[in-house]
Amino acid sequence: MKISRKKLRQIINETINESDLNDPMADAIAKIEKQFGKGSVVDSGSATNSGAGDRLSNNWIQFVIRNPRYQDILLHVWDHLIDGDDPLATKKIYLNDLDNNESIAGAITYYGRRILPGENYLTSAQLKEKIKIIKAEKEEARKNVPPKPWKRPKYGMGTRIDPKTGEEVQWTGTHERFS
């Protein structure tokens, strides 16, 4: 069942105003789930900062995985950022090590500004372990993929090895016409 934003705001505001408990937001979520069914509320974490450290750490992991050339440097940068160092100063320190790559340097300030005081973030050693696990899982998934069955192309010609017999086979495209 769909609910309009106006109706959702109204339910949340009523519940928050009526709530005597310490966590009125949890009451509002419970009331919405009671009325509209379990799973009707998707928690993006925007209402509260619960899990913000995990989300930011996971985002940083994905960023580091996309830039394997600078992995060690980026993990050192992460330690500086979670220790409370200024993102701009950290960027200036490591800019030469990053081959003056402004897009990566910009990401340092982007993620650095999103670090909240009092949140728990993973350390660079923990990030490195998670990166190893993620890379191992991806490598295992690549190994376990069966090969695609060979399909004759429309145009062209060539040779291939038949996997069933092991013999070399000459092929021509299905739409090729030789006169």
User: In the chain, what percentage of residues exceed pLDDT 70?
Assistant: 88
Per residue in 7-30, pLDDT (tens digit) is: 878 877 887 777 666 677 777 777
Sketch the domain layout of the chain as residue ranges: 5-36, 52-143, 147-179
Rounded-to-integer distance, Cα 144 and Cα 147, Å = 9
pTM of the model: 0.58
Rounded-to-integer distance, Cα 111 and Cα 3, Å = 34
Radius of gyration for the chain, computed over Cα atoms and rounded to the nearest angstrom? 27
Count the Cβ atoms, other than its own, within 10 Å of residue 108: 26
Per residue in 68-100, pLDDT (tens digit) is: 999 999 999 999 999 999 999 999 999 999 999
Per residue in 103-112, pLDDT (tens digit) is: 999 999 999 9
How many Cα atoms occupy the beta-carbon half-sphere of 28 within 13 Å?
Answer: 20
